[in-house]
Structure 1
Amino acid sequence: MSAVRPPARLRQPARLGLPASLPLPRKPARIPLRPRLRPPARLRGHGRDRGTVSIEFLGFLPVLLVIGLAVVQLGLAAFAVQQAGTGARAAARTASMDDADHPPAPEAAGRAAMSDWVKAGITVGGDGGGSVRATVQVTIPSIIPGVDNFGTASRSATMPRPQEPGALGLAPAVDTVDTYEGAPPR
């Protein structure tokens, strides 16, 4: 049988004349003497494609901006429609109240229910019967430069009038108190 020799790294202390019981010195960090060469282009892949993603993004950026502006403009149009509906309901509700309860001001109530930056035209009319109809027309604001107007949004609301004066419960209370004993009257 032949003796198995330890690897060279384990024999190093003996070769330096040091006792074998000392720990091995740490190997110093490798300092490259020459800069590493890049592998050839056939091994690296396509070396001339650097920066193409940035150029493609710059080409697609105007499309993204137009889509973003269109989404915001659609949101503004939906908000204007919602404001028109809110103003129409408030104006119709106010116009349907009794004159005896308090004098109605439906146009002012409709404008107060909407945002200040929305330009609105409010029309209130009745059919002479038991209902009141209010129509609000709102101009849709524009955020796109060069476009002043995207049209108008119109919403209407109809509210019934009370059948008898003071039916809404808004009439001043009467100070008379009826007293009775037993079950309440039917």
Structure 2
Amino acid sequence: MAPGWARLVRARLREDRGQAAVEFTGTLPVILATLALLWQAALIGYSFSLAGNAADAGARAGAVDGPAACEAAAREDLPAAWLAGARFGCPGNGGDLYEVSITFSVPVLFPGVLDLPFTFDADAAAVNEVPS
């Protein structure tokens, strides 16, 4: 028969106290990576929404007041973090439709810090009200 202290040591080694903490520590990187990917997906969707709204605002302003108003309205509609990589196309072609194109970059995780290495386009059009 083993001494009393040996039985206590064996019983202590078989316990599963702390198991939840070990498992949580092991899955924490997976949880954080999943949250980062979900946040990035939401940021991409938000960027598309912002760019579409800015293109619509630019098209409405350009159709009424011309190219200068187009770019000003589009710039006003975009937050500062998205303006850094944005390019506005307000041609004022004089046709029936006033077409606007915005090329922009989507930020990586934190707007204003780093952008994805590729760009996206947002287009909009409005009925041209400027006399030709």
TM more than 0.5? yes
1:134 maps onto 2:96 in alignment: no
1:125 maps onto 2:126 in alignment: no
Q: State the alpha-carbon separation in 2 of the partners of residues 90 and 137 from structure 1.
A: 15
Q: State the alpha-carbon separation in 1 of the partners of residues 68 and 28 from structure 2.
A: 53
| Structure with greater helix percent | 2
Q: State the alpha-carbon separation in 2 of the partners of residues 112 and 59 from structure 1.
A: 46
Select 2:18's aligned residue among 34, 46, 51.
51
Equivalent residue of 2:91, what SS?
Answer: strand
1:149 maps onto 2:115 in alignment: yes
The unaligned stretches of length 5 or more in structure 1 are 1-39, 166-186
Task: State the identity %.
Answer: 28
8 Å contact kept, 1:106–1:124: yes
Q: State the alpha-carbon separation in 2 of the partners of residues 127 and 55 from structure 1.
A: 65
1:96 maps onto 2:63 in alignment: yes
* TM-score calculated relative to the size of structure 2: 0.75
Correspondence list, 1:153-168, <5 A: 153-162=120-129
Q: State the alpha-carbon separation in 2 of the partners of residues 59 and 159 from structure 1.
A: 54
1:74 maps onto 2:41 in alignment: yes
How many residue pairs were aligned?
Answer: 118
Counterpart residue number, 1:106: 70
Select 1:64's aligned residue among 23, 28, 31.
31
Letter in 1 for 2:74: G
Equivalent residue of 1:138, what SS?
Answer: strand
Moved segments of 4+, more than 3 Å:
none
* Greater Rg over alpha carbons, structure: 1
Equivalent residue of 1:134, what SS?
Answer: strand
RMSD over aligned Cα, in angstroms? Answer: 2.9
The unaligned stretches of length 5 or more in structure 2 are 1-6
Q: State the alpha-carbon separation in 1 of the partners of residues 29 and 95 from structure 2.
A: 56
Deviation of 1:81 (Å)? 0.7
8 Å contact kept, 1:121–1:136: yes
Q: State the alpha-carbon separation in 2 of the partners of residues 105 and 98 from structure 1.
A: 6
* TM-score calculated relative to the size of structure 1: 0.55
Relative contact order, higher structure (CA 8 A, sep 6+)? 2
Deviation of 1:148 (Å)? 4.0
